[in-house]
A and B are shown apart, each in its own frame.
Chain A
């Protein structure tokens, strides 16, 4: 535990150092990145050491604020979430040390590093905190740090808008958490987590769950609470987006799991709600991703989709808990947790990759890219691995976690059990299948349009391989995708203690249901190995077949069209068109068409923009209505002093009339001389 505090101290101190050095961008970057990396390394060391020993370490200091205590604890659940935070942040720090070089001559990078390191420290404290006050403070520090990181390039209008949306969303989300913590602590009068568990609140658990779902769901990005997310991720520096998507939004999941542990009376409908919200997030998230042509925005929507998958897993777990169905419970939670790790890895990878693309080509617009794999073979290949992984295809890690979720459903205790269990299972199966197919569609589109084919613009043609410090983290994460895919049974084993903790079961109790998934997982892993071997073998066969024969290189067959240019290639929008057209009701597509006119049309253009469904249908009308309603009262302050005095007069008059007529009965003899006798 002391080492974790050292890690936090290193992070904060190095951030401050970076601010002090801000006039010397290189030094500032050095301090920030080295401090960030070192802090993460120390933290990782501490977490792994504690988790390895199987003990729970805790620390409790007094803290002189109302209801506050500086209580930290490292248990399996905390450790489980701390690891992706630290790994991803550490890699992002390495990556960032090079990425920020573009800002050296025009922005102060000290601020950037300060808030980055603060963000990491905040996330670390959030998972360790065992006191509501500490949790909320760390939570907000984390959010505010993220806000400053998002708005780093605040000269741009879209960055400012995104920052505002983020800030408002996170603030409103926190309001729900405040209420939730207050209600949790209403009985014990303290905000220590230990007391929450010991003296269960008298407030209905349903309300607490809903508050937690909205509060934490906002951070995680569950639909329709996700609106800040597709705005904020694209505008933040890429490595920050990676950390926010991979680690920070997971803390919403962490919070929800942590709160579930306090709530004794788990209701089935919570599970239904989680599954429903998850399915909506997953399907609409990936559909919205399909509609985007901005790479980072697309990745942001894909984060919503993955949060949806995680939420469905949690829903299964909750359903299992409430119906005393250990298989559903264990496999649901385990699948969700597994996907947390996996998403951190491949989404981190993809965001870092998007940053590479952006710096190499100065754009994230898919339609202005193309042919990047030739120009950055290593990074591109790593991104391909990430894309396949996020599409949930074997033999990579994305499949492993989705398989656990499928396995939770395809089960004697799931799909085959009573209706109340099997219907949600079918919902999960159907959603996962659709999400899987659409995700494959979406990421084929990303990789195929951006990295394959011919470059569509000179910028894309001039792209170069990134610096080693930027490509190394990406390659490491890609290796992680493969490794976890092939070693999935081992990782699954490590998740079980966390599940045991969440469900308050003994580890031994959950091992038998867990075995239902772990045995097939090992087969899946072996099939994965076989796939690699088989593909390798076939490659050798082809090499043998082609040896000594003519292998020619020529242009692509243009189906008889001989003067093709790169611009004739299929574009991202046209690639997505079949899906957009088919799922049209879920898109709000604004089309700007400049049709060719006249006998000799000069130029024509077609631009489509897909706006966010819930922003358009829920938030804009809602905020607009509130604004109009309140605006109607603005005549109150019309500038005339007479009216102002009138307000004072009317107030006192109204109060007197109220008081005299309501509080005082008509004069009769009994009233006079009523004297309050009260001993001091």
Chain B
């Protein structure tokens, strides 16, 4: 599987998430995205015909965290919260899909201007990373349940990862592990928070959490 195909699949997952109302489906899609992501560093290195053990460890960690642990955590939260569908979202599913397309165009425009200092492994890296990031942001903004916001956060994180892995692949392992640890704890803490929200309010619709305002 080539890098390009991988990236396109990631993008398709994004679009699927934009169009899906089922929370469990979205979580699964994010898991799939995580698995695709874990393949990315391997593909890039294999293209250069070398495979460092450090990289294998890194890929494995990503696979475990993004592909298994995070979705599991979220699914567990989903079960406790007993919510299946996203409540009517802020932006409808069709409009979301249209937005996804616009974002893709925007990303290509940006990457046409922002010239990389050295050739990228694939011309799709920059635009697709960018659009994944923006779609993650969009999911957070447009979906009402707290769980979908975490999923959005994960998509955002994934987009950043695509960028990091593909373009800035020489960051030290210590940092990468630290970043992953942080993301893990973040998802964990958010899960706990959702658990508390569900217990306190009997719903996880964060659109109703508006008692603090001016």
A binds B: yes
In contact, A664 and B137 (Cβ under 8 angstroms): no
Please judge, given known A-B contacts A664-B113, A664-B114, A673-B117, whether A640 and B137 are in contact too, CB under 8 Å. no
Contact partner of A642 (CB less than 8 A), chosen from B114, B207, B211, B213, is: B207
In contact, A645 and B140 (Cβ under 8 angstroms): yes
Residues of B within 8 A of A641 (CB): 149, 206, 209
List residues of A (631-660) whose CB comes within 8 Å of B's CBs.
634, 637-642, 645-646, 648-649, 653, 656, 660
Bound form: Cα–Cα A665–B115 in Å: 11
Is B212 part of the contact surface with A, judged by Cβ < 8 Å? yes
Residues of B within 8 A of A638 (CB): 210, 213
In contact, B210 and A667 (Cβ under 8 angstroms): no
Please judge, given known A-B contacts A664-B113, A666-B113, A672-B115, whether A642 and B137 are in contact too, CB under 8 Å. no
In contact, A667 and B115 (Cβ under 8 angstroms): yes
Residues of A within 8 A of B110 (CB): 656, 660
Nearest CB in chain B: distance from A648 CB, A: 8
Nearest CB in chain A: distance from B150 CB, A: 12
Is B142 part of the contact surface with A, judged by Cβ < 8 Å? yes
Residues of A within 8 A of B138 (CB): 649
Bound form: Cα–Cα A404–B206 in Å: 77
Is A671 part of the contact surface with B, judged by Cβ < 8 Å? yes
Contact pattern, B 99-140, Cβ under 8 Å of A = 1, otherwise 0 = 000000000011011110100000000000000001001101
Bound form: Cα–Cα A667–B141 in Å: 32
Residues of B within 8 A of A653 (CB): 134
Is B90 part of the contact surface with A, judged by Cβ < 8 Å? yes
Is B214 part of the contact surface with A, judged by Cβ < 8 Å? yes
Residues of A within 8 A of B144 (CB): 642
In contact, A649 and B137 (Cβ under 8 angstroms): yes
Residues of B within 8 A of A672 (CB): 115
In contact, A642 and B115 (Cβ under 8 angstroms): no
In contact, B113 and A660 (Cβ under 8 angstroms): yes
Is A675 part of the contact surface with B, judged by Cβ < 8 Å? yes
Nearest CB in chain B: distance from A677 CB, A: 13
Please judge, given known A-B contacts A645-B137, A649-B137, A653-B134, whether A637 and B213 are in contact too, CB under 8 Å. yes
CB-based nearest B residue for A648: B137
Residues of A within 8 A of B212 (CB): 639
Bound form: Cα–Cα A671–B115 in Å: 8
CB-based nearest B residue for A661: B113
Nearest CB in chain B: distance from A212 CB, A: 39
Residues of A within 8 A of B113 (CB): 660-661, 664-667
Bound form: Cα–Cα A640–B113 in Å: 35
Please tell me the number of chain A residues within 8 Å of chain B, measured between CB atoms.
23
CB-based nearest A residue for B144: A642
Nearest CB in chain B: distance from A630 CB, A: 12
Nearest CB in chain A: distance from B212 CB, A: 6
Nearest CB in chain B: distance from A38 CB, A: 53
Residues of A within 8 A of B90 (CB): 642
In contact, B112 and A667 (Cβ under 8 angstroms): yes
Residues of A within 8 A of B117 (CB): 673, 675
CB-based nearest A residue for B130: A656
Nearest CB in chain A: distance from B104 CB, A: 14
Residues of B within 8 A of A664 (CB): 113-114
Nearest CB in chain A: distance from B108 CB, A: 12
Contact pattern, A 295-333, Cβ under 8 Å of B = 1, otherwise 0 = 000000000000000000000000000000000000000
In contact, A660 and B137 (Cβ under 8 angstroms): no
A-B contact count (CB 8 A): 51
Residues of B within 8 A of A671 (CB): 115
Contact partner of B140 (CB less than 8 A), chosen from A639, A642, A656, A675, is: A642
Bound form: Cα–Cα A656–B134 in Å: 12
Nearest CB in chain B: distance from A649 CB, A: 4
In contact, B141 and A649 (Cβ under 8 angstroms): yes
Bound form: Cα–Cα A666–B114 in Å: 9
Contact partner of A660 (CB less than 8 A), chosen from B114, B207, B209, B210, is: B114
Residues of A within 8 A of B115 (CB): 667, 671-673
In contact, A640 and B210 (Cβ under 8 angstroms): yes
CB-based nearest B residue for A642: B141
Contact pattern, A 184-208, Cβ under 8 Å of B = 1, otherwise 0 = 0000000000000000000000000
Most buried by A among B115, B134, B207, B211: B115
Bound form: Cα–Cα A648–B138 in Å: 11
Bound form: Cα–Cα A671–B142 in Å: 37
Bound form: Cα–Cα A44–B35 in Å: 86
Bound form: Cα–Cα A642–B113 in Å: 30
Bound form: Cα–Cα A634–B112 in Å: 39
Residues of A within 8 A of B112 (CB): 666-667
Nearest CB in chain B: distance from A312 CB, A: 49
CB-based nearest A residue for B214: A637
Nearest CB in chain B: distance from A187 CB, A: 44
List residues of A (38-66) whose CB comes within 8 Å of B's CBs.
none
In contact, B137 and A639 (Cβ under 8 angstroms): no
In contact, A640 and B214 (Cβ under 8 angstroms): no
CB-based nearest B residue for A668: B115
In contact, B140 and A634 (Cβ under 8 angstroms): no
Contact pattern, A 605-648, Cβ under 8 Å of B = 1, otherwise 0 = 00000000000000000000000000000100111111001101
Bound form: Cα–Cα A665–B210 in Å: 43
Most buried by B among A640, A667, A671, A672: A640
List residues of A (194-252) whose CB comes within 8 Å of B's CBs.
none
Nearest CB in chain A: distance from B111 CB, A: 9
Residues of A within 8 A of B137 (CB): 645, 648-649
CB-based nearest B residue for A672: B115
Bound form: Cα–Cα A673–B206 in Å: 46
In contact, B141 and A645 (Cβ under 8 angstroms): yes
Please judge, given known A-B contacts A660-B110, A664-B113, A667-B115, whether A642 and B210 are in contact too, CB under 8 Å. no
Bound form: Cα–Cα A665–B113 in Å: 7
CB-based nearest A residue for B109: A660
Nearest CB in chain A: distance from B77 CB, A: 18
Residues of B within 8 A of A645 (CB): 137, 140-141
Bound form: Cα–Cα A667–B112 in Å: 6
Contact pattern, B 74-90, Cβ under 8 Å of A = 1, otherwise 0 = 00000000000000001
In contact, A640 and B207 (Cβ under 8 angstroms): yes
List residues of B (160-214) whose CB comes within 8 Å of A's CBs.
206-207, 209-214
Residues of A within 8 A of B142 (CB): 642
Nearest CB in chain A: distance from B196 CB, A: 15
Nearest CB in chain A: distance from B110 CB, A: 5
Bound form: Cα–Cα A648–B90 in Å: 17
Bound form: Cα–Cα A639–B208 in Å: 9
Bound form: Cα–Cα A140–B119 in Å: 61
Bound form: Cα–Cα A301–B90 in Å: 61
Bound form: Cα–Cα A646–B142 in Å: 9
Residues of B within 8 A of A648 (CB): 137
Nearest CB in chain B: distance from A638 CB, A: 5
Bound form: Cα–Cα A634–B109 in Å: 35
CB-based nearest A residue for B213: A639
Most buried by A among B115, B141, B207, B210: B141
Residues of B within 8 A of A660 (CB): 109-110, 113-114
Bound form: Cα–Cα A665–B114 in Å: 9
Residues of A within 8 A of B141 (CB): 642, 645-646, 649
Bound form: Cα–Cα A147–B117 in Å: 62
Please judge, given known A-B contacts A667-B113, A672-B115, whether A639 and B210 are in contact too, CB under 8 Å. yes
List residues of A (589-619) whose CB comes within 8 Å of B's CBs.
none
In contact, A634 and B214 (Cβ under 8 angstroms): yes
Nearest CB in chain B: distance from A651 CB, A: 11
Report 21 cross-chain contacts, Cβ distance below 8 Å, ordered by A residue.
Answer: A634-B214, A639-B212, A640-B210, A641-B209, A642-B140, A642-B144, A642-B206, A645-B137, A646-B141, A648-B137, A649-B138, A649-B141, A653-B134, A660-B110, A665-B113, A666-B112, A667-B113, A667-B115, A671-B115, A673-B115, A675-B117
Q: Which 6 A-B pairs have the closest CB atoms?
A: A639-B213, A639-B210, A637-B214, A649-B137, A664-B113, A660-B113
A641-B149, A660-B109, A660-B114 known; 5 new pairs, CB 8 Å cut-off, are: A637-B213, A638-B213, A640-B210, A645-B140, A666-B112
